[in-house]
Amino acid sequence: MVLKQLSIVGQEIRKMNKENFFSSVRTDLFGSLTQSQVDGINTILDCIKELPTNMQAYILATAYHETAKTMQPISEYGKGKNYPYGRWKTNSKGQKYCYKSGSKAGIYTFEEYTNLYYGRGYVQLTWFSNYELATKKLQDAGVLTKEQSLLVNPELANDPKIAAYIMKHGMLGGWFTGRALHHYFSDTLSDYVNARRIINGTDQKDLIAGYAKKFEKALQS
């Protein structure tokens, strides 16, 4: 069996049987698993180990969907060139600029920051304003030093441990849309369908809910 050839060591998650977990997700979600996928799953599991099972399941399902099943942080395909956050505009003075957020209320210029803030990480972090917020949160938590910044080096968002932290705390704290895990999950509630609003409205909500139920089954196996 493929799993026996892979290193699936890691901290136990709420008495979860790792062998059973990986066997279940291999069968129900992946078909087969590479070492890179196993490593990515273990990084996420280690980050979210203290959360309730239903929250863990939805976080894993989100990563599964947003990373095209690779379970590794990725950069957005096309680098956002079809979206406002992924292309420069030019003003009447010939300055290149880009909007800071989807509201288009503020801008930054190429002279200030040379980066475009297209999707990166496990949850495809986008927009200057979200990279700015994540930088502050990560610095306050000691995950980044005061000298490190996602605005200066946005590729830090593709570091697995940093990406996992952003995904977990962004979903817990409502960083992305104002909606958070506690709105959809409790001891008596597992709203896997509407939880998509934490990340991206209702886009693919039923599909991701199906993934979450399979991850929940695996976590409980």
145-164 pLDDT per residue, tens: 999 999 999 999 999 999 99
CA-CA-CA-CA dihedral for 144, 147, 152, 155, to nearest 10: -30
How confident is the model at residue 124, as a pLDDT? Answer: 93
pLDDT mean across residues, the chain: 92
Q: What region does 12 belong to: left with phi over 0, alpha with psi -120 to 50, or beta?
A: beta
91-118 pLDDT per residue, tens: 999 999 999 999 998 999 999 999 999 9
Length of the chain: 221
Average pLDDT, integer, range 38-49: 97
Average pLDDT, integer, range 35-43: 97
168-208 pLDDT per residue, tens: 999 999 999 999 999 999 999 999 999 999 998 899 999 99
Q: How confident is the model at residue 35 (pLDDT cuts 50, 70, 90)?
A: very high
By DSSP bridging, strand 74-75 and strand 89-90 are: unpaired
Contacts of 160 (CB under 8 A, 6+ apart): 39, 40, 43, 72, 73
Kindly tell me if the per-residue pLDDT of 11 is higher than 90.
Answer: no
